[in-house]
Structures are given as C-alpha cells and as structure tokens.
C-alpha cells in the first residue's frame, strides 16, 4: 500500500504518527506540507477521502484562523485559506490509496494499516 504522510516535524503528534508508522515497518512518503503546500484541488481530494467538511480538517484554534475571520466562512473560503496558509491544516494526515485519516490522536493512523 502506498502511504503518504502530510507531516510537520515541529509537531509532536505528527512526529509520533511517523514513529508509529516506521515502528510498524512502514516507510511512508513524507510531505512537508508547510513548505510544499497542497493546492485547492489536492485539499478537496483529501477532504473527499476523509469524508469530512473543510472545517473538520482545520486547526480552528490557530490565531490565524481567528485573524482571518474564518469562523463564519463558507467551505470554498476555508479551502482557499488552507491552500494559502497550510498552517491551518490539521496534522498529521495519512493518505493510503483512496482513503485518508487525520492522526488525532496519532494512533488513529493505525486504522488505515
């Protein structure tokens, strides 16, 4: 199975998720999504895999979320915001085939294996 982890090495939960994968003998492709930001199309594809609304994939506690006034934004605006400011994307996200899972808690990624 082809695995890709949207990863932020500065995030302890993201590091834990990567360690769980590696400890289980998996070598996922790692996408440093803060420096290699996903496009709006990629975000829509991941949302489809996750089967969730855009806000559920966002870090709503981020100061930037509040600063941008996203509380009442529609789905399109949220997707644009994530593509423009990838720090708003919840992490980590594991992509596996046609499926995906947000690693909150990190052990959640094990449901994909």
Q: Are 13 and 91 in contact (CB under 8 A)?
A: yes
Among residues 11, 37, 52, 87, the one annotated as catalytic is 11
Please give the C-alpha separations between residue 45 and each of 24, 38, 63, 90, in angstroms, as whole numbers.
27, 10, 26, 15
Distance between CA atoms of residues 23 and 8, nearest Å: 18
Q: Is 11 a catalytic residue?
A: yes
DSSP state letter for 71? G
Name the residues annotated as catalytic.
11
């Amino acid at each position: 199975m082809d695995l890709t982890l949207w990863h932020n090495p500065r995030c302890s939960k993201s590091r834990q998720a990567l360690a769980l994968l590696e400890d289980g003998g998996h070598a996922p492709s790692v996408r440093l999504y803060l420096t290699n930001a996903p496009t709006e199309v990629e975000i829509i594809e991941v949302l489809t895999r996750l089967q969730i609304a855009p806000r559920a994939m966002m870090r709503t506690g981020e100061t930037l979320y509040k600063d941008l006034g996203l509380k009442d934004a529609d789905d399109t605006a949220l997707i644009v915001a994530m593509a423009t400011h990838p720090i708003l994307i919840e992490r980590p996200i594991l992509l596996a085939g046609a499926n995906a899972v947000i690693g909150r808690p990190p052990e959640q990624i094990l449901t994909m294996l």
